[in-house]
């Protein structure tokens, strides 16, 4: 069924009893051309583009929980392409362009809201750094504006502009940035892939990877063995665990990143705002709650929960930026397991096992990269050659001495 205003109207007349399930619940087949491990945003997007762009439909997406149970449903929904370095800048701009046409592409309301992203700066040196970043963005055709103190005050009058330690001096503004409903992204890609014949198999945990003569032949799962010609890993924070099943050690650490929602408030934050003197970012949801987050917790973990020290740290940064937050109640928090690479940039590459592919190391950038990640990963799997935009994200770049060190925010907590 194609969603439209007419279909909503007609189903309303029928008591909304004619809606079909958005995707099937198939039993796994004995063998597929491609098996994708991980039913999050990147795995589902990869399946969608493999089917849509490359005609590969004999494929399965394996998810150990339910769709949306991982990081795709555990983030702060921000999208942007305000990156500096050549490897990241064109990639995230590709992702932004895909976001802009995504809802029409897969016929699902993902609530894409291009409300603009402001990165505040608080010193002359930070202003110069953002000037350089903005110039790099514009040279690559990415929208960027450098706002002075007065322009920021007009947009965000509630900031603490005269903070003795962190005075707000201006901001780098990307008007096309914004937010997207995170779980709707998973549902839209799942529906689009399923409609093209992809099997999305939930409650199916991978427990082993079977190899023969240096080739992957399939995966052992909680629902039995599933054979495949190609195996693609997109397991986010559990990438190291799954890769270890094939004897592959990754340059990745898993850390918890917490996010928070406040009680509902009247609308007052129209944009996404980041604090330049600490790691804090905030936007306001359609329900009125403030959605915000900060740094990773400073220890390795595979748990989807964090500690109170990080909660206090995030709250302190938030109040330093917006003093009125001191009167706002936190409603709930959650944690996502982040696959932190050593240089803070992702990996999309073939491994030394010919038919084993890797998508991992997304650090803080996983959600905003979802469309481009899926598109480029699908290209790699289908054609066995990296997409031009993702050529810098090689697995061996650390050994070769070609890291993409965007901000020094890799796995090391002391750099945050």
* Residue 230, strand partner residues: 34
Which stretches of 234-393 are DSSP H helices?
239-244, 308-321, 370-383
Q: What is the pLDDT of residue 325?
A: 95
Under the banding of pLDDT at 50, 70 and 90, the label for residue 408 is low
Q: Please name which of 25, 29, 22 lies closest in space to residue 59, comparing C-alpha atoms.
A: 29
> Which residue in 193, 188, 232 sits closest to 347, CA to CA?
232
pLDDT confidence of residue 305: 87
Weakest-pLDDT range from 97-111, 242-256, 299-313: 299-313
State the pLDDT at residue 298.
83
- This prediction has a pTM of 0.95
CA–CA–CA angle 100, 105, 107 (5° rounding)? 110
What's the pLDDT band for 406 if we cut at 50, 70, 90? confident
* E strands, 276-400, in order: 280-284, 289-300, 330-341, 347-350, 356-360
pLDDT at residue 54, as a whole number: 97
C-beta separation of 318 from 278 below 8 A: no
| Stretch 8-20: mean pLDDT | 91
* Residue 127: per-residue pLDDT: 97
Q: Indicate whether 413 pLDDT > 80.
A: no
- What is the reported pLDDT for 1? 78
Q: 305-361, pLDDT tens digit by residue? A: 889 999 999 999 999 999 999 999 999 999 999 999 999 999 999 999 999 999 999
Q: How far apart are CA 335 and CA 258, in angstroms?
A: 4
> If we measure between CA atoms, which residue out of 163, 131, 166, 165 comes closest to residue 148?
131
What mean pLDDT is predicted for residues 190-218?
97
DSSP H or E segment with residue 183: helix 182-195
Average pLDDT, the chain: 95
* In the predicted structure, residue 415 carries a pLDDT above the cut 90: no
Whether 156 shows a pLDDT value over 90: the answer reads yes
pLDDT at 405: 83
Query: Please, which residues bridge with residue 49 across strands?
Result: none
């Amino acid at each position: 069924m194609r969603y439209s205003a007419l279909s909503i109207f007609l189903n309303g007349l029928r008591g909304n009893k004619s809606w079909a399930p958005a995707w099937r619940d198939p039993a796994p087949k004995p063998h597929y051309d491609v098996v994708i491990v991980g039913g999050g945003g990147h795995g589902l997007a990869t399946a969608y583009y493999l089917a849509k762009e490359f005609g590969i439909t004999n494929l399965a997406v394996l998810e150990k929980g339910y769709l949306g149970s991982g990081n795709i449903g555990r983030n702060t929904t921000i999208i942007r392409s305000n990156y500096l370095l050549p490897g990241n800048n064109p990639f995230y701009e590709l992702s932004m362009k895909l976001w802009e046409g995504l809802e029409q592409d897969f016929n699902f309301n993902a609530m894409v809201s291009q409300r603009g992203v402001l990165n505040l700066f608080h010193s002359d040196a930070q202003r110069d750094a953002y000037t350089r970043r903005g110039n790099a963005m514009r040279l690559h055709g990415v929208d960027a504006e450098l706002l002075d103190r007065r322009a920021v005050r007009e947009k965000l009058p509630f900031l603490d502009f005269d903070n003795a330690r962190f005075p707000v001096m201006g901001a780098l503004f990307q008007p096309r940035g914004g937010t997207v409903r995170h779980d709707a992204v998973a549902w839209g890609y799942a529906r689009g892939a399923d409609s093209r014949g992809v099997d999305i198999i939930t409650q199916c945990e991978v427990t082993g990877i079977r190899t023969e003569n240096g080739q992957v032949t399939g995966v052992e799962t909680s629902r039995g063995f599933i054979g495949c010609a190609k195996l693609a890993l997109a397991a986010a924070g559990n990438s190291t665990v799954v890769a270890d099943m094939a004897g592959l050690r990754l340059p990745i650490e898993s850390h918890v990143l917490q996010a928070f929602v406040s009680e509902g408030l009247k609308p007052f934050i129209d944009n996404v705002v980041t604090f330049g003197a600490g790691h804090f970012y905030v936007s306001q949801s359609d329900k009125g709650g403030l959605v915000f987050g900060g740094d990773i917790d400073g220890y390795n973990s595979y748990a989807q929960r964090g500690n109170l020290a990080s909660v206090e740290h995030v709250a302190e940064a938030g109040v330093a930026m917006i003093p009125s937050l001191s009167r706002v109640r936190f409603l709930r928090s959650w944690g996502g397991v982040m696959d932190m690479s050593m240089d803070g940039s992702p990996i999309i590459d073939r491994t030394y096992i010919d038919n084993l592919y890797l998508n991992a190391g997304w650090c803080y950038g996983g959600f905003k990269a979802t469309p481009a990640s899926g598109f480029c990963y699908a290209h790699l799997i289908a054609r066995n050659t990296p997409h031009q935009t993702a050529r810098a994200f090689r697995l061996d770049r650390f050994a070769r001495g070609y890291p993409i060190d965007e901000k020094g925010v890799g796995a090391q907590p002391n750099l945050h």
